[in-house]
Amino acid sequence: MKETPGWRQNVGARGEGRNAPVRAVFLVGFMGAGKTSVGRALGGHLAWRFVDLDDRIRSLEGRSIPEIFQNSGEGRFRELERAALRDVLAEIDSGPPLVVALGGGAFAQPEIVALLAESESITIFLDAPPDELWRRCSADRTQRPLRRNEAEFHHLYDARRPLYLEASVKIETAGRNIDQIVQEIVRGLKLNSRVSGEER
């Protein structure tokens, strides 16, 4: 696979060299990486269904992510996250192709990584320097339970980044707009030649 600027293929990732059509792409990365924005745009570009795993959890629970953290704890949230992911993975074979945005802490959970590896799904790590991620998070109004102060933010990013690097693909997003990132994913995974997971 020819690499483009910002694109890095993890040659050791499962699913590399697969012959089957791509039917699901999972976006991983830290808070502020743009997983939801890029995922929604990528899904629209490909006419694939977009799923935000946090939105799925909110809908099933009838309460916000901060409420789940505050009232039930992070451990309960991670249980709900795994259950929601299992449901999404079960939809891949029988439903339309999916673009899925995972929460910032999902790919740092060994159980989540194992589920994705077993399904041989394509995972894409959207990366940016922590200073830029902090600025993005500070500029929006989204409540993030684990965004407390800048020092802790940087520490958590440093702890999670080696785990994110296990994704199939890494894309640098710093200084780039959503359309540029979407086009890079489409070119890198050769998705333009696929409609609903089937060759044209």
pLDDT at 28: 97
Strands 198-199, 194-195: pairing kind: antiparallel
How far is the C-alpha of 99 from the C-alpha of 36, rounded, in Å?
A: 10
Residue type, 147: R
CATH fit for domain 21-191, picks 3.30.1490.20, 3.40.640.10, 3.40.50.300, 3.30.360.10: 3.40.50.300
Question: If we measure between CA atoms, which residue out of 124, 169, 173, 131 comes closest to residue 150?
Answer: 131
DSSP 26: E
pLDDT at 185: 93
pLDDT digits (tens, 9 = 90+) for 109-156: 999 999 999 988 899 999 999 888 888 777 666 655 445 678 888 899
pLDDT at 141: 63
Mark the ranges of the chain whose per-residue pLDDT is less than 70. Answer: 1-20, 139-148, 192-200
Q: Any long-range contacts for 178-186 (C-beta under 8 Å, 24+ apart)? A: 178/34, 178/37, 178/38, 178/41, 179/41, 181/34, 181/38, 181/126, 182/38, 182/41, 182/42, 182/45, 184/4, 184/6, 184/7, 185/25, 185/38, 185/42, 185/124, 186/42, 186/45, 186/46
Owner of token pair 């997003």: 173
Q: List Cβ neighbours of 69 (8 Å cut-off, separation of 6 or more).
A: 77, 145
Give the global pTM.
0.83
pLDDT at 85: 96
- Domain ranges, ordered by start, for the chain: 21-191
